[in-house]
Structure formats: structure tokens, C-alpha cells
């Protein structure tokens, strides 16, 4: 009986945590000009640090709006940057948050079975006027480097 109560209490606590954190609503897709502006800021951050990156910017549905890659980036980063951007947009969260949950184990392991979920830093939401208008994904460096450049890209859009 104690085990059932503990399990029920844990389920109620998880539900309560999820209810309090409502995701942002989707807005109209960002323009190509805004996508280019976000990518330019991300590339500038990469260049400043001598990192080679691939940059993908997607609309709220995860469709590619703009792509750019630096000359020396590994070819795998092309698809990875698109996957990170799409994952952030469609799951309404930065990809690092999925990595953090996965790292905890337990319920966080659910991300292993979710189609399109990328549990690696570098995918960030682009938010304008309190609405998700797209996402940016970077790949080519470490997760932290990808994330730093992605956040530079999102900061360019207000």
C-alpha cells in the first residue's frame, strides 16, 4: 500500500510540475530577412571564437527557412544543425533541455523514443512578441559552443 501511495504521489507531483510550465504559443513564421539576421549573428559568434559551424533556421513547424555553412565545417553538421533547429521548434524547447532531462535518467529517458527529439545542445527557439516564430540550430563544435552560437543568433531577433 505504501508503494502505491508513493507512486501516486510521484505521478501527481510530475503532473503538477508540467502544468505550471506552459509552453509559449506559436506565432507567424519569421521572415527570411530575420532568419538571415539570426544566422549572421550566429556565424559572427563562431568566427569570433574560430569555430566552424553549420547554421539552420526553421519556421515554427520545423521547415527550413535559411541555411548557411562555414567552409571548413564537417559535412555531418549540415543535417545535424537542421535536426537541432527542427527539434527545438516542434518540441517548443531548447534542445539542451532534452539533453538535461535525458542525463537525469528515469522519466528523462523518454526522449530516446520520441521521433525527431535531439538531446544535444545547439537548438534554440526564436521568440518574437512572446510567440515562437522559428528556431535556430548549430552544429560543428562542442555542444556548449553550438549553444553559445545559437543563443547569439536568437539574441539578434527581438
Taking only the tens of pLDDT, the chain with its 158 residues reads 454 444 333 333 343 344 456 889 999 999 999 999 999 999 999 999 999 999 999 999 999 999 999 999 999 999 999 999 999 999 999 999 999 999 999 999 999 999 999 999 999 999 999 999 999 999 999 999 999 999 999 999 98
Verdict on whether the full-model pTM lies above 0.75: yes
pLDDT of 21 reads 67
For residue 36, what pLDDT is reported? 98
Quickly tell me which residue has 538571415 as its cell. Answer: 36
Evaluate whether 92 touches 132 at the Cβ level (below 8 Å).
yes
pLDDT value at residue 158: 81
For the chain, the farthest-separated pair of C-alpha atoms sits apart, in whole angstroms, at 62
- CATH fold group of domain 24-155: Beta-Lactamase (3.30.450)
C-alpha cell belonging to residue 27:
506565432
Q: Residue 41's pLDDT is what?
A: 98
Residue with cell 550566429: 42
**Alpha carbons 147 and 156: distance in angstroms, whole number:** 14
Residue with cell 510567440: 131
DSSP 115-146: TT---SS-EEEEEETTEEEEEEEEESS-HHHH
pLDDT, residue 23, reads 86
Amino acid at each position: 500500500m505504501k508503494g502505491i501511495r508513493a507512486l501516486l504521489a510521484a505521478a501527481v507531483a510530475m503532473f503538477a510540475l508540467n502544468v505550471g510550465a506552459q509552453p509559449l504559443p506559436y506565432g507567424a513564421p519569421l521572415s527570411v530577412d530575420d532568419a538571415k539576421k539570426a544566422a549572421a549573428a550566429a556565424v559572427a559568434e563562431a568566427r569570433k571564437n574560430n569555430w566552424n559551424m553549420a547554421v539552420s533556421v526553421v519556421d515554427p513547424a520545423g521547415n527550413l527557412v535559411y541555411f548557411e555553412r562555414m567552409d571548413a565545417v564537417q559535412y555531418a553538421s549540415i543535417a545535424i544543425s537542421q535536426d537541432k533547429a527542427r527539434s527545438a521548434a516542434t518540441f517548443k524547447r531548447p534542445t539542451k533541455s532534452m539533453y538535461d532531462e535525458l542525463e537525469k535518467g528515469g522519466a528523462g529517458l523518454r526522449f530516446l523514443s520520441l521521433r525527431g527529439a535531439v538531446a544535444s545542445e545547439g537548438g534554440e527557439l526564436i521568440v518574437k512578441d512572446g510567440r515562437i516564430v522559428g528556431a535556430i540550430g548549430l552544429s560543428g563544435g562542442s555542444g556548449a559552443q553550438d549553444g553559445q552560437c545559437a543563443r547569439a543568433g536568437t539574441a539578434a531577433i527581438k
